[in-house]
């Protein structure tokens, strides 16, 4: 973004930049700075009796300064925490030239500048562990003023708390609100725990296309673009399911992918148009096995991140200890909405929705009408981890028919805190049945349902070669991270959430 306006304070910094260059000081030196410790290591490990940390080299951003006569203090922040630095004029300057201290440090350095320090650890007269600087180097000049939090008489001023600005300028948010880093660090650990869990079972991590000729694997509205060389439309993937199942057809016993998916839909506290999903498919398994597998997975994540299965979320405690409650979708609707939708046709479902005051549209078919009732009446009650199972066939075009009831499918969703977290099936591997289900989706699309699935004939062809009995499961990584880090908004677990341009 081109800078159209430079404030008075920013102009002062640009003037300081010129003065530094005139003094022969490169404000952005090319050479690296060999850091050998961190602020946190010094604060936790310094022992004056041992006289350790006597040759430290660390770097960080200036967060505050107290300029005095021939000696001053500043606080720098590295990636671990903040530490105080003691700067004495006669020690950082040669005897014949005090310019580095009197002009450069006192007048041309600013809060936000990144500096390198060589020196030794000590304890001040007030008992604070600090670093006595023997050498001070400017590593990067900051031309913008940081919104540093100030406190006076118990009041906080200039706190960088506006959500839109925090998400738009995440780099500033991370500087002035260091606690913001914690959910992202835990997110990486969470994904690594999951990856290790899958690898320990012998499953292969793979990659599948993001740009697809047919957006398959989910009911969602896709983003569309155009490939000039091939002169064809391409869609950003809404799911990677069909590609992963093709790999099961090809003979892999189990495959998984942490994938970026894209859906051209609404945005709210739990939805972003770009999001991360884990999908895993395992041959010769069914949805009963996958429920057990999913329980073990998310319980392990909670234990690895927190050391307990009881994890706070808002004013609740979510207990991830298995086993989880299991309730069929039909029974859940009976319990919470008071209606039996098992044998209802579309007209009866519409009447039921009207009686229950559930918002619907003319384009909705049986599946979406049932989903609408479930969403309105059931989801809010599913706080502790709960498997909702045995979905009606109309809601699940990729799921195998239930072995005991042809009206249903072998599908489950894991709900936590009133939101869907995971979705899984005994996968439909009958190519004739699958083609019929796709054709039913086309009828819905003709009625105006722009989230209905396309027919993917290459996937049908793959099934015609034979796919073994398979179970697949997808988990929303962003939502799992929200639950595991006590973050109420998806924007707080995405470094750069989608926003309207400034």
CA-CA-CA-CA torsion sign (97, 102, 106, 108): negative
pLDDT of 152 reads 60
Q: Is the pLDDT of residue 91 over 80?
A: yes
Q: What pLDDT, on a 0 to 100 scale, did the predictor assign at position 335? A: 96
For the segment 158-189, what is each residue's pLDDT rounded down to a tens digit? 568 888 899 999 999 999 999 999 999 999 99
Q: Per-residue pLDDT for 156 more than 60?
A: no
pLDDT for the residue numbered 157: 53
Tokens 């800078």 label which residue? 3
Q: Is the pLDDT of residue 150 over 80?
A: no
Residue 305, phi then psi, degrees to nearest 5: -80, -35
- 478's CB contacts (< 8 A; 6+ apart) are 272, 275, 276, 490, 493, 494
Average pLDDT of the residues in 260-280 = 92
Q: In this predicted structure, what is the pLDDT of residue 450?
A: 73
pLDDT, tens only, 298-345? 999 999 999 999 999 999 999 999 999 999 999 999 999 999 998 899
Question: Which pLDDT belongs to residue 299?
Answer: 98
Query: Which domains does the chain possess?
Result: 8-146 (2.40.50.140), 181-324+384-493 (3.30.930.10)
- pLDDT surpasses 60 at 151: no
Amino acid 51: pLDDT: 87
Residue 2 pLDDT greater than 70, yes or no:
no
Decide if pLDDT at 3 tops 70.
no
Q: Rounded CA gap, 132 and 55, in Å?
A: 10
Among 292, 317, 287, 295, smallest CA distance to 424 is for 287
Distance CA 102, CA 68 (A): 11
pLDDT at 420 over 60: yes
- Spell out the residues 6+ positions from residue 160 whose beta carbon is closer than 8 angstroms to its own: 147, 149, 166, 172, 173, 176, 177
DSSP 3-state helix, strand, coil percentages of the chain (rounded to 5)? 35, 25, 40
Q: What percent of the chain has pLDDT over 70?
A: 97
Q: State how far the Cα of 424 lies from the Cα of 414, in Å rounded to an integer.
A: 9
- Joined together, the tokens standing for residue 459 give 């996937």
Judge whether residue 282 has pLDDT over 90.
yes
Cα 489 off chain centre by? 10
Residues 6 or more apart whose CB falls under 8 angstroms from that of 169 comprise none
| Mean pLDDT across 5-22 | 92
Residue tagged 């086993």 (tokens): 323
Q: For the segment 221-235, what is each residue's pLDDT rounded down to a tens digit?
A: 899 999 999 999 999
pLDDT-above-90 percentage for the chain = 78
């Amino acid at each position: 973004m081109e800078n159209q306006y430079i404030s008075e304070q920013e102009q002062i910094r640009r003037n300081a930049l010129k003065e530094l260059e005139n003094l022969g000081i490169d404000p952005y030196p090319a050479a690296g700075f060999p850091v050998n410790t961190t602020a946190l290591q010094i604060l936790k490990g310094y022992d004056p009796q041992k006289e350790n940390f006597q040759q430290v080299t660390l770097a960080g951003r200036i967060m505050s300064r107290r300029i005095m006569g021939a000696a001053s203090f500043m606080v720098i922040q590295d990636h671990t925490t903040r530490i105080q630095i003691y700067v004495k004029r006669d020690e950082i300057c040669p005897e014949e030239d005090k310019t580095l201290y009197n002009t450069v440090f006192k007048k041309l350095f600013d809060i936000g500048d990144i500096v390198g320090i060589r020196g030794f650890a000590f304890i001040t007269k007030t008992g604070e562990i600090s670093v006595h600087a023997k050498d001070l180097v400017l590593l990067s000049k900051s031309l913008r003023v940081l919104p540093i939090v100030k406190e006076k008489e118990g009041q906080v001023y200039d706190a960088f708390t506006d959500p839109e600005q925090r998400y738009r300028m995440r780099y500033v948010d991370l500087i002035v609100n260091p606690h913001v880093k914690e959910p992202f660090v835990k997110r990486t650990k969470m994904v690594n725990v999951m990856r290790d869990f899958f690898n320990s079972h012998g499953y292969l991590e793979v990659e599948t296309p993001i740009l697809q000729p047919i957006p398959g694997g989910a009911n969602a509205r896709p983003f569309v673009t155009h490939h000039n060389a091939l002169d064809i439309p391409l869609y950003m993937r809404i799911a990677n399911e069909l590609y992963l199942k093709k790999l099961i057809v090809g003979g892999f016993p189990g495959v998984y992918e942490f994938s970026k998916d894209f859906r051209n839909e609404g945005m709210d506290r739990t939805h972003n148009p770009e999001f991360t999903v884990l999908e895993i498919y395992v041959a010769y398994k069914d949805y009963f096995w996958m429920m057990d597998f999913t329980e073990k997975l998310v319980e392990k994540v909670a234990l690895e991140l927190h050391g307990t299965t009881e994890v706070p979320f808002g004013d609740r405690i979510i207990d991830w200890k298995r086993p989880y409650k299991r309730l069929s979708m039909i029974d859940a609707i009976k319990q919470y909405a008071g209606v039996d939708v098992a044998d209802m046709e579309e007209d009866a479902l519409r009447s039921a929705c009207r009686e229950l005051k559930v918002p619907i549209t003319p384009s909705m078919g049986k599946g979406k009408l049932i989903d609408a009732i479930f969403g309105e009446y059931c989801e809010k009650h599913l706080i502790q981890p709960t498997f909702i199972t045995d979905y009606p066939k109309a809601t699940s075009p990729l799921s195998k028919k239930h072995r005991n009831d042809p009206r249903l499918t072998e599908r489950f969703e894991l709900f936590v805190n009133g939101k869907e977290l995971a979705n899984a099936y005994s996968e439909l591997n009958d190519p004739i049945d699958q083609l019929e289900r796709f054709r039913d989706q086309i009828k819905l699309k003709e009625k105006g349902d722009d989230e209905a699935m396309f027919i993917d004939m290459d996937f049908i062809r793959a099934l015609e070669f034979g796919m073994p009995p398979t179970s697949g499961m997808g988990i929303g990584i962003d939502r799992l991270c929200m639950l595991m880090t006590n973050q109420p908004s998806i924007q707080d677990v995405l470094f750069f959430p989608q926003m309207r341009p400034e």
